[in-house]
Amino acid sequence: MRILGIETSCDETGATVIETESENKKVKLISNVLASSLSLHSKTGGIIPETAAREQIKYIIPVIEQALLKVRGSTRGVDVQNPAGFIDSIAVTVGPGLIGSLLVGVETAKTLSYIWGKPIIPVNHLFGHIYANFVGEIHNSEFIIHNSAADVQFPAIALIVSGGHTDLVLIKNHGSIKWLGGTRDDAAGEAFDKIGRLLNLPYPGGPSIEKAAKNGNPKAFRFPRPMIDSDDFDFSFSGLKTAVFREVKTIKQLNNETIFDISASVQQAIIDVLLVKTLRAAKKYKVKSILLGGGVAANQKLREEFQKKLITHNSELITRFFVPPKNLCTDNAAMIASAAFYNYKEVSWRKLTADPELYFD
């Protein structure tokens, strides 16, 4: 089966083609194209929804065309003018996200579905971040599955950490996802972005703080670890932002050394909370796998600390750790097509609507 995936929930415009074999449950990434309006948002220090959607209208057709053209080079040819014979279904993000952005993808998917006579599989963007862990790629004609994701064993805990979400979910099996807890205010990525702005670092704050943190001391400032000991799986990061704000006001003149130290200390505070709460959930539900996903999962320190902790805990916690390659942590269409394959529910284009508030059931 071949699925065309489309993702336009925020500021990125992504299209992908994946090929799957239902016998061995593997997702092969054939093409993955992404157009970003990030440079425009860097100028304004954040995403302006109207600008994002306008850019997506410009990009969506060329990005889909590119994704289909790349298929020609890798497997059997596809006629870009009429790929109906090549594509079996169309997967598209229906929410959560910015309404204008979501509509660009949803309306395009509906049109293609009508013209090609192919079904649509609506995908929850948050499921997409989880299923980025199940995507494999072809390198020099050889199929490589990252982290041997086909070996993910259930039950599993997934931590989704992105710009809009911080959620812990329990996955009993494909299609059976139970929400355990989430952020009560700012998401982890949002905290990185807002603190980045306080430190005058370029947008988005996550990668900028990660870079600055490399030269800093994570123990220089003792920032709060909000809700680290709370008896639930909820998170809160707005207090951390306020603590940094106060510190920055006290310091008045920020020099590079202080920016590096604050960055390293903030990064460590966020990692500590994410790690402790995820491991607690993993123990409580005796899971066999832990999956990370979302833009913040691209953070190298976070990846390393999870890896390290799981190895140290191995005698009491027999858990395998999975994290997607960095380019599949941030928004992309491959994760959407992958989620569609593992949670395959076709709908007619007539029934498809965008839902900006979509969440876990």
Distance between start and end Cα atoms, the chain: 28
String of DSSP letters for 82-95: -GGGT--EEEEEEE
Binding mask 135-174 for Zn ion (x = CB under 5 A): ---------------------------x------------
CB of 356 to Zn ion, least distance (A): 13
- Residue placing its CB nearer to ligand KG4 in the complex, 92 or 112: 92
Asked if 91 and 105 touch (Cβ cutoff 8 Å), the reply is no
Q: Is 135 helix (H, G, I), strand (E, B) or coil?
A: strand
Residue 19 within binding range of Zn ion, rule CB under 5 A? no
The DSSP code for 232 is: S
- Out of ligand KG4, Zn ion, none, what residue 330 binds, judged by CB under 5 to 8 A for its kind, is ligand KG4
Q: Judging by beta carbons within 10 Å of its beta carbon (0-12, 13-18, 19+), is residue 115 exposed, middle or buried? A: exposed
Q: Cis (ω within 30 of 0) for the bond into 218? A: no
Binding site for ligand KG4 (CB under 6 A): 10, 162-164, 189, 192-193, 204-207, 210, 294-296, 298-299, 330-331
CB of 334 to Zn ion, least distance (A): 13
Footprint of Zn ion on residues 307-346 (CB under 5 A)? 331
CB of 87 to Zn ion, least distance (A): 24
- Residue placing its CB nearer to ligand KG4 in the complex, 121 or 191: 191
CB of 294 to Zn ion, least distance (A): 6
- Residue placing its CB nearer to ligand KG4 in the complex, 20 or 162: 162
- Out of Zn ion, ligand KG4, none, what residue 122 binds, judged by CB under 5 to 8 A for its kind, is none
User: Residue 322: beta bridge partners?
Assistant: 291
Task: From residue 327, give the alpha-carbon distance in Å to each of 159, 247, 280, 294.
Answer: 17, 33, 28, 10
| Site residues, Zn ion (CB under 5 A) | 162, 331
